[in-house]
Amino acid sequence: MANFGFSRLAVVAPYEEHWREAKSAVGASDLLQNAKRVERLTKAVADCTLVIGTGTRAHRKPEQPVIPLPELAPYVGAELARGGRVALVFGPEKRGLTRDDLSLCHHLVEIPTHPRQPSMNLGQAVAVCLYELAARAGNSVAAKDPVDIAKLVLSGELERLAAVVEKTMLAANYSPAAMREANRHDLRLLLRRVALTGQDARRILGLFRRILWRLER
């Protein structure tokens, strides 16, 4: 991260002992000292407007658009240019991101690796992604044409909206218990697919809160 000028690291539920050692290691850079430690991915990406998941080649059929890394820079550049904040999410080395993690991502990015050896070392995957973005999306880092932040929707707002919609589904007996997990997942993906503005999200949130309040009386 430091090699390519990135500084905002959030670590989700790290293994306590390793994390303490890493932070107290001699020469641990500011980056590690200042890293945000959170218990859930939702928290780590809450103030981002574009969340990109990595390491998708593995098992499952992806549910979002998959962008090859060499083509990612324009997406990130455009988001930064309009004043958005972008998160790049990496999973643990062995098993990658969970389905739940992936449901928080707008897009997925794929490093084009050789079919015979698709699985990369985590540190090398991070280096490759950040090299690509620094080299080819860096020009847009300063917001050229920032829009009103109200027009952007934060990942955290989408999560609040999803939570209320979910509660409403329950209160309305919308679906059998067996379907809840699937509905929850699809709802998350849908909210990221439809490109809401912040105002849209807040308006819909207000509506659902009202509905929920009525249902719960």
Q: Classify burial at 52, counting beta carbons within 10 Å of its beta carbon; exposed 0-12, middle 13-18, buried 19 or more.
A: buried
Spatial separation of the C-alpha atoms in residues 38 and 12, rounded to whole Å: 5
Residue among 68 and 206 whose Cβ is closer to its own copies: 68
Under rule CB under 8 A, residue 79 binds its own copies: no
Interface stretch with its own copies, choices 3-11, 16-24, 77-85, 164-172 (CB under 8 A): 3-11
The one among 9, 38, 128, 141 contacting its own copies by CB under 8 A: 128
State the number of binding residues for its own copies (CB under 8 A).
27
Q: Which residue, 113 or 197, has its beta carbon nearer to its own copies?
A: 113
Q: How far is CA 99 from the centre of its chain?
A: 12
**Options 117, 142, 145, 173; binder of its own copies; rule CB under 8 A:** 117
- Angle of helix 73-81 relative to helix 122-136, nearest 10 degrees, comes to 60
> Does residue number 5 form part of the binding site for its own copies (CB under 8 A)?
yes
- Write the DSSP assignment of 144-198 as a string of letters: SSPPPGGGS--HHHHHHHHHHHHHHHHHTT-S-GGGHHHHHHHHHHHHHHTT--H
* 69 counts as binding its own copies under rule CB under 8 A: yes
Number of Cβ within a 10 Å radius of residue 36: 11
Q: Which of 38, 17, 124, 144 is nearest to 87 (CA)?
A: 38
User: How would you classify the pairing of strands 50-53 and 36-38?
Assistant: unpaired
Stretch that binds its own copies, among 39-47, 129-137, 175-183, 185-193 (CB under 8 A): 129-137
Among 9, 38, 134, 204, binds its own copies (CB under 8 A): 134
Instruction: Give the nearer residue to its own copies in terms of CB position, either 74 or 123.
Output: 123
**Residue 121 interacting with its own copies (CB under 8 A):** yes
| Cα–Cα distance, 80 to 76 (Å, whole number) | 6
Biggest CA pair distance of the chain: 59
Report if residue 65 touches its own copies, rule: CB under 8 A: no
Does position 74 interact with its own copies (CB under 8 A)? The reply is no
- Residue from 38, 127, 149, 211 in contact with its own copies (CB under 8 A): 127
Q: Which residue has the tokens 């990595």?
A: 54
Query: Min. distance of Cβ 33 from its own copies in angstroms?
Result: 14
Residue 129 in contact with residue 109, Cβ under 8 Å? Answer: yes
Q: Which residues bind its own copies (CB under 8 A)?
A: 2-5, 29, 69-70, 111-114, 116-121, 123-125, 127-128, 131-132, 134-136
